[in-house]
Chains A and B, each alone.
Chain A
Amino acid sequence: MKYRALLALAAGGSLLAGCTASAADTNSASATAPIQSSKPARTAFPSTYRAYPSVPTAITGVTIYDGEGGRIDRGTVFMAGGKISSIGGPETAIPADTTIIDGTGKFVTPGIIDVHSHLGDYPTPSVAAHDDGNEATSPVTPEVWAEHSVWPQDPGFSRAMANGGITALQILPGSANLFGGRSVTLKNVPSRTVQGMKFPGAPYGMKMACGENPKRVYGSRNRMPSTRMGNLALNRQTWIDAQDYRDKRKAGKSQKRDLGKETLAGVLDGDILVHNHCYRADELAQIIDMSKEFGYKVTAFHHAVESYKIADMLAEEGICSAVWADWWGFKMEAYDAIPENAALLQKAGACVIIHSDDENQIQRLNQEAAKALADGRAMGIEISDAQAIRWITLNPAKAMGIDAMTGSLNPGKMADLVLWNDNPLSVYARPEKVWIDGALMFDSADPNRRPVSDFELGQPGEGDVK
């Protein structure tokens, strides 16, 4: 009874909204004392993902990029119980009763991770009925959650796995709004529900957008923001209100739950990571100043095509740039994009991530990293192959707050990995097998290890290699 009373207070509106807490959640709620009057006590929409069955497997004689910038030739990677057990050279011990895969001439990388995807929120077929990525009805919508838009049947998920080796990805709301809402991080497994894909233990992100998109969307409706100064004014006022909410929450004062401010307070508390769509160097610097004014940190700038102009500043601030290899010219704020952006950031010691924002290029993040690497080398910047792999493995994992669990082939981490039939930095390479938590989820040689979404079942092209 005492629990219940506490919960009612702590959960506020969540009980009113018809939710009931499970025993496990109640336990975790009790651990969050002292009372925070508006911080929800139970996990909403908890992950129901469970690793699929696996067998102890060793890949031998293979070239390994470990995701942290290391490379092992003629290496062995051994996984058991869904985890990476060991990784090393030819001397690595392999226990009995292990499935052994001869990886001679092939390559292993951690599962590829895309920090910026809209799969599920903008699924194919791209019909208006599927247009669920932007809650473009107000420039400030931190209350929306991308996971509530994700359609798990999007055929794009399986293409990303089969062609791109994608094992985890962050689905972000679109960029129409200054505050677009919460992101969700998914394991790239087919599921009936989004909860069945949710990456256990992944923190939430919050999407923000600067620049052209918010001012265009709302300016065209003759409402604020219609300018970049309008963007910043509305941003700052929103943060002022969020600070007030968060201060009351910290002081234990009673206040009605506010979904949007819960997200914003989560950012100010450092629990929710900021993923800020922002292109131009001058605007990146303004956003950094704003984050300092309000005491939060930008985790990553996305689409930061001009990061190279302030690479030193970004290195100093410890902010990642999630960039394309070479997109440019599609709008004014993408006009100064250059293919050497990633390499110049790397040279300056800043955090580099190659992202897709695209249902096609998510199938080729390895190739995009390879292009960015080649363009850097062409201007004399020395970056190793293994380092470029890190741009699509450990660095995005870090920006998504899941680097302790995945993103590199460290023993104890999730056995999320890809066996490539050639060097993944070559255009001629494709995933041969993909494991997620040690479970073999894709095998190019086995038609039965190629998921077919409900949407594609019974349609022309069902089960094709794609």
Chain B
Amino acid sequence: MKRFSLLLASAAALIAAPVAAQTTAITGGKLVIGDGSAPIEGGTVLIRNDRVVAAGANISIPADARRIDASGKWVTPGIFAGFSRIGLVEVGAVSQTNDMNASRSPFSAALDVQYAINPFASAVAVNRAAGVTRAVVSPSTSDSIFGGFGAIADLGQDEYPITRARAFQFVELGETGHRRAGGSRSASHIHFRALLEEARTYARNPSAFDSDLLKASDAKALLPVINGSTKLLIHVESANDILKVLGLRKDFPALKMVLVGANEGWRVADHIAAAGVPVLASALADLPYGFEDLASTQSNIGRMKDAGVKVAIGMINDRDAHQLRYSVQYAGNLVALNKVPRATGLSWDEAFAAISSGPAEIMDMGGQLGSLKAGRQADVVIWTGDPLELSTQVEKVIIDGVDQSLSNRQMRLRDRYANPAPGALPKAYDR
């Protein structure tokens, strides 16, 4: 399925932008591989078609390669947003444009964002221009603890946003799950177990399946979750909820869990590390937003990392449909913590990995995405300076080897009103 999507995307790219059908060398820049290694001065990235061929120092460049001089600039993999709702929303408060959840649908786990992600959403173009090239795209929940299937998407300007459909199932098991399930964690956990049991019943005899709890299509959707072929992204915040979730493995040993949010992860970091469960954590949550995250601190990610947890930055329920561009600012803030006494941050290299290879690896796609190693999809960004710094601008974005336009409607509005007074004709004539 994934390979098919990739092939389609590449084919479309070839038609749309023939320039991709060649070799490109980006030279002279400060090269960030994205895997947590230190930047390489004067490094080269070599791209052929949609793939990275080589990256590093002393890369030999074919004579016929297109050359892009990035001297004085930084070259990195594209930003991989570790948790988002990009492409599911045009205007948040305009319900007709908001596909994050389906509050009046009879379905839950069977819902699938691959049909909703809009590659032409203005947020896709805005975040692409800010260097975001890939994203974990999740549904949110409405009446069930299960939200449905999420996807891995690219932010390229073609009509094929799906990198991997049905990449994971999303479930709420913290305060939101408690609310969805009827008002307690007893309810959300019994809900979770009961639905998975129903799915097993369905698996034994699909044609005889008749359940008060679950539609056949939802049961079918949960089967790959039970057998571990589809990841389960679980939103929890509190230390206690995290421990309870880790305990689910006893009854459902094959679950491939990823924790999302986990504001109190640092309190039980040893348990998370021992369970080998990765975390897509909020970066800068530091307030007791509810009683489920009284101990929130910006040191959460750094402490989990130090405890051996595989952790990357996600931004659940944090302007996650529009502002994935905050990822770099968040990563920079985690670096800033290193100078704050008693705080625990990330090194620069770790911080960048937390928004590039980190999410890719957590989604089991590190071999294809998230870094500038040979064989990866060629998502490359050229920046005017340190990509985590606020003054830095994006100069060039390449997705799947294809040069991307950085234009979007925000820029068009900017240019129209650079001088606000109308000219000889009203502004509406000014394009």
Query: What are the residues of chain B within 8 A of A310 when measuring CB–CB?
Result: 420
In the assembled complex, the Cα of A429 lies from the Cα of B94 at a distance in Å of 37
Whole-angstrom distance between the Cβ of A164 and the nearest chain B Cβ: 11
Q: A379 in the interface, Cβ–Cβ < 8 Å?
A: yes
- Tell me the bound Cα distance from A460 to B298 in angstroms: 15
A126 touching B289 by the CB < 8 A rule? Answer: yes
- Among A336, A421, A464, max chain B CB count under 10 A is at A464
Is there an interface contact between B390 and A159, defined as CB atoms closer than 8 Å?
Answer: no
A331 touches B414 (CB 8 A): no
Contact with A along B273-288 (1 / 0, CB 8 A): 0000000000011111
Cβ B290 vs Cβ A127 within 8 A? yes
User: Given A336-B413, A360-B287 in contact, is the A378-B393 Cβ separation under 8 Å?
Assistant: yes
Tell me if B91 and A427 are in contact (CB < 8 A). Answer: no
Question: Bound state CA distance, A424 and B393, in angstroms?
Answer: 18
Closest B-chain residue to A372, C-beta based?
B390
Q: Is the CB of A328 within 8 A of B322?
A: yes
Among the stretches B50-58, B181-189, B204-212, B338-346, the one at the interface with A is B338-346
Partner of A374 from the list B322, B392, B420 (CB cut-off 8 Å) is B392
Q: Determine if A338 is an interface residue (Cβ-Cβ < 8 Å).
A: yes
Q: CB < 8 Å: which of A339, A421, A428, A461 contacts B332?
A: A428
Closest CB in chain B relative to A165 CB, distance in Å: 13
B358-414 with Cβ < 8 A to chain A = 388-393, 410-411, 413-414
Instruction: Give B429 Cβ to nearest chain A Cβ, in Å.
Output: 15
Which among B294, B319, B341 is the interface contact of A444 at CB below 8 angstroms? B341
Say yes or no: A445 contacts B264, CB within 8 Å. no
**Closest approach, in angstroms, between the C-beta of B402 and any C-beta of chain A?**
23
Q: Which of B291-317 contact A (CB under 8 A)?
A: 291, 294-299
- Say if the beta carbon of B13 comes within 8 Å of chain A: no
B109 close to chain A: CB less than 8 A: no
> B323: CB under 8 A from chain A?
yes
Residues of A near B290 (CB, < 8 A) are: 124-127
**A429-B297 contact in complex given A124-B289, A127-B290, A379-B418, C-beta closer than 8 Å:** no
What CA separation (Å) do A447 and B299 show in the bound complex? 16
Q: Tell me how many residues of B have a C-beta within 8 Å of chain A.
A: 57
> Known contacts being A329-B90, A330-B92, A344-B420, is A427 close to B296, with CB within 8 Å?
no
**In the bound complex, what is the Cα–Cα distance between A331 and B319 (angstroms)?**
12
Q: State whether the Cβ of B88 lies closer than 8 Å to any Cβ in chain A.
A: no
Asked if A312 lies at the interface with its beta carbon under 8 angstroms from chain B, I say yes
Our pick among A311, A348, A359, A427 for the contact of B388 (Cβ within 8 Å) is: A427
**Consensus secondary structure, chain B interface:** loop
Q: Is the CB–CB distance between B284 and A360 below 8 Å?
A: yes
Cβ-defined partner of B413 (8 Å) among A331, A338, A428: A338
B91 adjacent to A308 (CB under 8 Å): no
Give CA–CA (A445, B343) in the complex, Å. Answer: 11
Q: State whether the Cβ of A319 lies closer than 8 Å to any Cβ in chain B.
A: no
A328 to B91, CA, bound (A): 9
B336:A155 contact, CB within 8 angstroms? no
> Are the C-beta atoms of A330 and B413 separated by less than 8 Å?
no
A455 at the interface (CB under 8 A from B): yes
Docked pose: A435 CA to B333 CA in angstroms? 23
With A421-B339, A428-B335 known to touch, is A374 a contact of B91 (CB < 8 Å)? no
Main secondary structure of the interface of A (DSSP, over half): loop
Interface presence of B71 (CB below 8 A): no
Assembled-state Cα–Cα distance A386/B323 (Å): 27
**Given A155-B288, A344-B420, A379-B418, do A460 and B294 touch, yes or no (CB 8 Å)?**
yes
Bound complex: CA A126 to CA B290 (Å): 6
Tell me if B295 and A460 are in contact (CB < 8 A).
Answer: yes
0/1 interface trace, chain A 421-455, chain B, CB 8 Å (1 if under) = 11001111110000000000000110100000001
Q: How far apart are the CA atoms of A363 and B336 in the complex, in Å?
A: 13
Chain B's closest residue to A315 (CB) is B420
Instruction: Assess the A427–B336 pair: CB atoms within 8 A.
Output: yes
- A348: chain B residues at CB < 8 Å are 420
Q: Are B288 and A455 in contact (CB under 8 A)?
A: yes
Contacts of B5 in A (CB 8 A): none
Flag if B414 contacts A340 (CB, 8 Å). yes
Which of A374, A430, A466 is within 8 Å of B391, CB to CB? Answer: A374
| B239 part of interface (Cβ distance < 8 Å) | yes
Nearest Cβ on chain B to A424's Cβ, whole angstroms: 10
B392, closest chain A residue (CB)? A374
Among B90, B288, B329, which residue has its beta carbon within 8 angstroms of that of A427?
B329
Q: What is the minimal beta-carbon distance from B118 to any residue of chain A, in angstroms?
A: 13
CA distance A446 to B287 in the complex (A): 20
Q: A126-B289, A330-B93 are in contact. List 13 more A-B contacts (CB 8 A).
A: A156-B287, A159-B287, A163-B298, A308-B420, A309-B427, A312-B420, A328-B322, A338-B410, A371-B329, A374-B390, A421-B340, A422-B336, A464-B299
27 A-B interface contacts by CB (under 8 A) = A124-B287, A155-B287, A159-B287, A163-B286, A326-B325, A327-B319, A329-B91, A329-B322, A330-B322, A331-B92, A331-B94, A332-B91, A338-B413, A344-B417, A344-B420, A374-B392, A422-B339, A427-B389, A428-B332, A428-B336, A459-B288, A459-B294, A461-B288, A461-B295, A466-B286, A466-B297, A466-B298
Tell me the B residues contacting A by CB distance below 8 Å.
Answer: 89-94, 122-123, 126, 239, 264, 267, 284-291, 294-299, 319, 321-323, 325, 329, 332-333, 335-337, 339-343, 388-393, 410-411, 413-414, 417-418, 420-421, 427
- A residues near B (Cβ < 8 Å) are 124-127, 155-156, 159, 163, 212, 308-313, 326-332, 335-340, 344, 348, 359-360, 363-364, 367, 370-371, 373-374, 377-379, 421-422, 425-430, 444-445, 447, 455-456, 459-461, 464-466
Q: Which are the 10 A-B pairs with shortest beta-carbon distances? A: A461-B295, A427-B332, A331-B93, A460-B295, A370-B390, A330-B92, A329-B322, A465-B343, A124-B287, A466-B286
